[in-house]
Chains A and B, each alone.
Chain A
Amino acid sequence: MAGNNRHIILRWFVIGLFALLGLRLFHIQIIDRSYQRAAENNVLRYEVQHPPRGEIYDRNGDFLAQSVASYDLMVVPRNIPREEGFDTVALARIAGVAPEQLTQSLQAAKNYSHSRASVVVRQLSTEAKLLFDEGNFDGFYTLFRTQRSYPRKIAGNLLGYIGQVNDKIIERNPYYSRGDYIGYSGIESAYEELLRGEKGEKVSIVDVRGTIKGPYQEGHYDKPALSGTPITTTIDAPLQELAEELMQGKVGSVIALEPSTGEILVMVSSPTYDPDELMGRDRGNNYVKMLNNPRQPLFNRAVMSSYPPGSTFKLVNALIGLEEGVVTPARRYPCEGGYHVGRGVKCHDHRSPLNLKDAVSNSCNAYFCYVFRDILDNPTRGGIMKGGYDNWEKYVRSFGFGQKLGSDFASERGGFVPTADFYNDYYPKWNSLTVISMAIGQGELGCSPLQMANLAAIIANRGYYYIPHVVKHIEGRDSLDNRFYERHYTMVSEKHFEPVIDGMWGTVHREIGTAGVAYVKGLDICGKTGTAQNPHGKDHSTFLAFAPKDNPQIAISVYVENGGFGSSVAAPIASLLIEKYLTGEVARPELVKYIKNMDIAYPNYSNKK
């Protein structure tokens, strides 16, 4: 019976079978690495660690924006117990949302991915998070985030707002992923890369139910989140607060600078909003409300709007005239109710003739028409067409008009200074009379409030400016961007500023001046009113000032849309702010009250669309 070779066949059969197993093992353990990845996907959970966003302080170290703890409720749908499910009502109550809403976002999470985490409810408070932890909801967990809080509730447009990144941003910038926040405007946007910090990552081991069992490799692959860098702004919070108070009910802008540095002390775009409204659960609703508000609170007028500068621009023409030698401080021009050449320009009733200083104080239209035409038609420059106009334009641009100043606001716009070609396109033939409106800051000229405040700073500095900026100090850095330390000189030399400044002093201090209302004893405020005609209704009220006359501490521009005369709204506001800044208090509470309660009609901003 044993006399056969079957036992040998069997032995090879056994060896063959084991070899088969060995080959298969060789394949799945050594050749095919996909099992390695699958195993990691099974047990490793990569959790993003969101750093707290950097705080924003005012120039005195008070909080403008803070980061407070907040938690996002996350879910990995796969890990919800299949049979028992979870108590929807209880979880909804803890999260503070309607059960239907919870069910809905859970469905959305499932549609996105069964095995990857999605946010179900955003921004749970710490109390809600603690309640959740007691509840033991399998499949859900909370993720630490921070939320912005704005304790002073001021400077909405200045600070800007943050929001979740959209798909476009994610595509452009690999740093961001779904659900991240990014600054969309103001400082939040300008200093996004500093404020956001650096996201970290925590690699944990999870079991089959998704319960975290501990760090992977003792945290060797973890990357801690780096907190955002705190930023100290140049803003003077109490002053900003007063400015916003004074601007309430009005549309327009206030900007105050420190002339010696270009630091922005105040930046108001009115109407403003409480930045907290753009945080938290109601953000969506509030945002839509703001978008639909015809007065456009989200539009940062301070850097984005383009207003006719009005009479404040006469200062520029006066300075150019002096530098070009077409006018001297002593030169007088008559004014018989206006400038009566060509279409003519009207003027208010005042004594005549006036010298340059008085013309500035009194804001005589005719005087600056003479000066402006002499600049353009100056024969030594070859007349208006041969370079006279271009020469004037060059002067104007040296004051920072017609281009972005290069501040730290990404949304800054440059206003408009027409070129000769601009007129060539419009008129087959034109001359200095065609553009005469620009003599008094009307016509095609457009300036942002920031540029006007910058003009005040230039005059205060007698001829130069620093690029206005809102950041004073970045933690861990010795200095700011170099461009903020560079003096930008105008084409007008220092000596020509004195007569103009004398005129501005007169505006406030002399009987002939247009803004006696701005006078504050001992502060030596120098100013210039503007009453800008515009096609949209009542004149805009504007005022440009600095103080004190010698060694100026503050330069300011106030622009109130449809506010009427420069002296009626803008000048008192500027005066009050200067007073507050230089003396630390306001001694004229009635004026504050009067300005606050002033009622200005804005027919253009009614809900007609």
Chain B
Amino acid sequence: MKGNDKLGWAKIDWKTILVFVVLVFIGWLNIYAAVYNEALAGGFSLSSKYGMQLIWIGISTIAALVILLIDDIYYHQLAYPAYAVMLIVLLLTLVVGHKVNGARSWLVVGPISIQPAEFMKVATALSLARFMSEYNFSLSKPRGVVGVGVILFIPIAIILLQNDMGSALVYCSFLLMLFREGLNPWVYYALFLVVGLFVGSFILSPTALLIGLVVLFVVSQFFSNRNPKESVTFVASVGLVSLVLYGLSWLGQWGLNYYHSLLAASLIMLVPALIYAYREKLSTIYLYATMFGSSLLFLGAVDYVFNDVLQLHQQKRILDLLGIESDLKGWGYNVHQSKIAIGSGGFWGKGFLDGTQTKYDFIPEQSTDFIFCTVGEEWGFVGSVVVLALFATLIIRLMKMGERQQEPFRRVYCYGVAGIFLFHTIINIGMTIGLMPVIGIPLPMFSYGGSSLLAFTILFFIAVRLDSQNSSIGSTYKFY
């Protein structure tokens, strides 16, 4: 058998491909449902959206076959050239591109429009894989981190210049791969902290936020040091001092509210905590104290920028993105209608082609960014969960695929692809149900659009191809 495998298809992961194909099929059904109109139901038309999408599915199938025929060595070799070419195309788009929704991100070639940013992801993933699999590469060395940073930064910058915020944010998805490859966890802690504080500053009261911060760092210190006594003592003394201050303020009419008392107490108690750290040589306390201070500064900065720098409409946009202020007619309209469509699906859904919200145009962008509404409305909770499960399966299988690779090039690439799929899926679906900010990025294989379908197909099948030629343990590595 082995001798007959000229194509190297013997080890292709057909199960993962099946998941992918099922998603493509369900995605197409939903595009059909989203644009379905009883009045025009007479014939099947290739010029309609579902017809066009079918053509793109055909093109993608051919692309997938071609990818599976190319020897994996070429992906390694073509990574940098592809990256360079795509950068040039991106720059070209910046000059001659078409503006859609305020973003100059479309390149029109004859009858077809393509979105180069979609394909840039493929080139970036390959280039990162190649760069990070180089001999001597290490994420713990500044050279390595800077190199990765540069590869990511250039496309992000150009895409931002195109005014396409959503596509630029997608590059955050490589953080998944970088974590797997050993990027310092403190980067992630800091990232979560910043995002958490930013969101928290809008949805939590200052007092709750402050208590949260104190608890967070005390608990962190406890996990670093495993000494419950010091943590409890600190929390107790902060609480006590804050109450004393509050009581004194009440007696002395100083006008301090509890937030101020607590803030003062926690800052005052930092002094004995730092002395304690110096005596006991507990360096983590310095770290947490610094992070605590930085967090307070960050919160102050967010507060200042939001209230004193941003204009009213910018403030509203941020609040709407966070789902706090809902202007149902304006910014919040899409999400509101989207939630209605999905929520009204109930357990079993309204049935294929029977979704009233999508059929009667209540959802804007219903075949592209908000395609999940059709799933939620017509297939209900059951259908939605099935789709979620399929996506989760696909992503986890991609990560497992990465995990079984012998060579870093293959692993890094697989994880890169998994991250991109994950980011798109979570942000897109999260957006339609009001969990995530409204960032206009497509749902992989579902959203109408040739560029995105083709780009995801290429991304995915290169991973499958790399996996199918995975060298067995002990054999020589191809990619050094």
Contacts and interface: CB of A to CB of B under 8 A. Distances in A.
Interface of A: 1-2, 4, 6-7, 9-11, 14-15, 17-18, 20-22, 24-26, 28-30, 32, 34-36, 38-40, 42-43, 205-209, 213-214
Given A17-B426, A29-B384, A6 B180 contact: yes
A36 B435 contact: no
B288 interface: no
B176 interface: yes
A21 B433 contact: yes
A511 to B, nearest CB: 89
A18 B391 contact: yes
B392 A25 contact: no
A592 to B, nearest CB: 67
21 contacts: A2-B411, A6-B180, A7-B403, A10-B180, A14-B422, A17-B426, A21-B430, A21-B433, A21-B435, A25-B381, A25-B384, A25-B388, A30-B346, A36-B343, A39-B377, A42-B357, A43-B356, A43-B357, A205-B360, A206-B360, A213-B360
A406 to B, nearest CB: 55
Contact of A38 (B340, B385, B426): B340
A145 B119 CA distance: 61
A205 B354 CA distance: 12
B376 A15 contact: no
Interface in B341-356: 341-347, 356
Contacts of A213: 360
Contacts of A39: 340-341, 343-344, 356-357, 377
B130 interface: no
B364 to A, nearest CB: 9
B181 interface: yes
Contacts of A42: 337, 340, 356-357, 360, 362
Interface string B350-377: 0000001100111000000000000011
Given A10-B180, A17-B426, A30-B381, A35 B360 contact: no
B272 interface: no
Nearest to A78: B329
A7 B182 CA distance: 10
B116 interface: no
A29 B361 contact: no
Given A4-B182, A208-B362, A11 B399 contact: yes
A36 B360 contact: no
Nearest to B384: A25
Given A18-B388, A35-B340, A208-B360, 20 more contacts: A4-B182, A7-B402, A10-B176, A14-B396, A17-B426, A21-B429, A21-B430, A22-B388, A28-B342, A29-B342, A29-B343, A29-B376, A36-B346, A38-B343, A42-B340, A42-B362, A43-B356, A43-B362, A207-B361, A208-B361
Nearest to B139: A1
A18 B341 contact: no
B223 to A, nearest CB: 15
Interface string B381-393: 1001100110110
A2 B408 CA distance: 9
Contact of B179 (A10, A35, A208): A10
A79 to B, nearest CB: 13
B339 interface: yes
- The main secondary structure of chain A at its interface with chain B is helix
Nearest to A114: B329
Contact of B385 (A4, A22, A206, A214): A22
A30 B357 CA distance: 17
Given A14-B422, A39-B356, A207-B361, A28 B343 contact: yes
A29 B356 contact: no
A9 B388 CA distance: 20
B416 to A, nearest CB: 13
B476 to A, nearest CB: 18
B355 to A, nearest CB: 9
Nearest to B436: A21
Nearest to A31: B343
Contact of B339 (A11, A17, A28, A30): A28
B433 A30 contact: no
Contacts of B347: 29-30
A456 to B, nearest CB: 68
B380 interface: yes
Given A4-B182, A14-B422, A21-B429, A32 B343 contact: yes
A9 B399 CA distance: 12
Contact of B380 (A7, A21, A29, A40): A29
B395 interface: yes
Interface in B316-351: 337, 339-347
A400 to B, nearest CB: 63
A38 B344 CA distance: 8
B179 to A, nearest CB: 6
Contacts, number: 115
A25 B356 contact: no
Interface in B398-433: 399, 402-403, 408, 411, 422, 426, 429-430, 433
B388 A6 contact: no
A207 B344 CA distance: 16
A214 B356 CA distance: 12
A14 B392 contact: yes
B182 A35 contact: no
Contact of A1 (B181, B356, B362, B433): B181
- B340, B389, B395: most-surrounded residue (chain A CB, <10 A): B340
A208 B363 CA distance: 9
- B337, B339, B377: most-surrounded residue (chain A CB, <10 A): B339
A34 B342 CA distance: 12
The 4 tightest CB contacts between A and B, nearest first, are A35-B343, A39-B344, A207-B360, A28-B343
A34 B411 CA distance: 46
B340 A21 contact: no
A21 to B, nearest CB: 5
- B341, B344, B402, B430: most-surrounded residue (chain A CB, <10 A): B344
Nearest to B137: A1
Contacts of B408: 1
A263 to B, nearest CB: 56
A528 to B, nearest CB: 75
- A9, A11, A24, A35: most-surrounded residue (chain B CB, <10 A): A35
Contacts of B342: 25, 28-29, 35
Interface string B160-176: 00000000000000001
A27 to B, nearest CB: 9
Nearest to B356: A43
Contacts of A6: 179-180, 182
A209 B343 CA distance: 21
Nearest to B337: A42
A29 B345 contact: yes
A9 B415 CA distance: 14
A18 B392 contact: yes
A7 B180 contact: yes
Nearest to B402: A7
Given A29-B376, A39-B341, A24 B361 contact: no
Nearest to B435: A24
Contacts of B346: 29-30, 36
Contacts of B38: 214
Given A10-B399, A208-B362, A15 B381 contact: no
Contacts of B429: 21
Contact of B435 (A4, A7, A20): A20
Contacts of B403: 2, 7
A14 B393 CA distance: 10
A15 B396 CA distance: 9
A183 B366 CA distance: 50
A31 to B, nearest CB: 10
Interface in B102-152: none
A92 to B, nearest CB: 28
Contact of B356 (A24, A32, A34, A205): A205
A26 B435 contact: no
Contacts of B391: 18
